[in-house]
């Protein structure tokens, strides 16, 4: 699999959907930010997405399956309806099948963090997919800015700017800034819909700005057509055929 497909998969994994119940911006003591995490064991979703890194672009359908705090599974199908790639993410590694070229890849999160100059880990990816705060609120200063409540959290060299809609009371935008590389990831969530008494954004747009590397921006657009909170366990099929070559 070429680097374009790897970047596409990593970008799509890290820029998924948002799913939260309604919640107040402050607790009773007015000293903490309340963001209600989604309650589920398994969920699935289907989406159309486009990806453009300034050199190549692709449009395809993605099917997601999630076992909360454990597994994320993604199947990629272009317009012809033939699956071209499959991804399985657990708490330590990312596994990728390239069905077009009959290759497979195995990455640790440390490998991906070095390759893409960003601190990837399972909890961070799951938080972005579910619309949770990547770095929890810990009495940082909250400011009212236009139609948002906003605050900044930090972890190592990363700054997380969170924008919570004053009318929706949902995380509508998050920006992550790397102080070392000056790279930035910006994700916007919009067109919220109700599924099983929980809130999902129907539209997601994201931009990765490689400021330090002087590379073109990477842009991802995701539009969901189906979201389901499953009643019971679902499968996460992933196996490597004998003829596939490891890359």
Tens digits of residue pLDDT in 78-115: 877 789 999 999 999 999 999 989 999 999 998 888 87
Neighbouring-strand partners of residue 154: 159
Predicted local distance difference test score (pLDDT) of residue 196: 83
pLDDT classification of 236: cutoffs 50, 70, 90: very high
> Between 3.10.20.90, 2.50.20.10, 2.40.50.140, 3.30.565.10, what CATH number should domain 3-232 receive?
2.50.20.10
**Cβ atoms within 10 Å of 73's Cβ, excluding its own:** 21
**Cβ atoms within 10 Å of 105's Cβ, excluding its own:** 18
Q: Is the pLDDT of residue 147 over 90?
A: no
Give the Cα separation of 42 and 70 in Å (integer).
10
Predicted local distance difference test score (pLDDT) of residue 19: 35
Mean pLDDT, residues 141-161 taken together: 82
Predicted local distance difference test score (pLDDT) of residue 22: 33
pLDDT classification of 234: cutoffs 50, 70, 90: very high
* Chain mean pLDDT for the chain: 79
Top-ranked range on mean pLDDT: pick from 8-22, 181-195, 232-246: 232-246
Q: Is the pLDDT of residue 32 over 70?
A: no
Contacts of 178 (CB under 8 A, 6+ apart): 117, 118, 157, 158, 184
Of 64, 34, 30, 31, whose CA–CA distance to 47 is shortest?
Answer: 64
pLDDT classification of 229: cutoffs 50, 70, 90: very high
Structure tokens belonging to residue 36: 């209600």
* Pair 55, 4: CB distance under 8 Å: yes
């Amino acid at each position: 699999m070429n680097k374009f497909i790897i970047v596409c998969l990593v970008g799509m994994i890290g820029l998924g959907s948002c799913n939260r119940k309604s919640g107040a911006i402050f607790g009773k003591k007015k000293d903490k930010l309340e963001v209600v995490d989604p309650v589920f064991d398994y969920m699935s979703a289907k989406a159309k997405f486009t990806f453009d890194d300034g050199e190549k672009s692709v449009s395809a359908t993605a099917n997601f399956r999630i076992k909360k705090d454990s597994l994320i599974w993604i199947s990629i199908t272009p317009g012809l309806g033939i699956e071209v790639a499959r991804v399985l993410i657990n708490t330590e590694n990312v596994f990728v099948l390239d069905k077009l070229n009959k290759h497979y890849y195995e990455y640790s999160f440390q490998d991906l963090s070095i390759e893409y100059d960003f601190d990837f880990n399972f909890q961070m990816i799951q938080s972005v997919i579910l619309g949770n705060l990547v770095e929890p609120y810990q009495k940082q200063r909250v400011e009212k800015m236009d139609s948002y409540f906003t605050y900044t959290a930090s972890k190592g060299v990363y700054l997380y700017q969170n924008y919570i809609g004053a009318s929706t009371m949902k995380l509508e935008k998050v920006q992550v800034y790397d102080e070392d590389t000056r790279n930035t990831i910006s994700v916007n969530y919009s067109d919220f819909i109700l599924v099983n008494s929980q809130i999902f954004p129907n539209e997601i747009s994201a931009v990765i700005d490689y400021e330090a590397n002087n590379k073109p921006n990477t842009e991802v657009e995701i539009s969901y057509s189906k979201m389901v909170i499953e009643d019971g366990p679902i499968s996460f099929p992933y196996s490597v055929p004998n003829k596939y070559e490891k890359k």
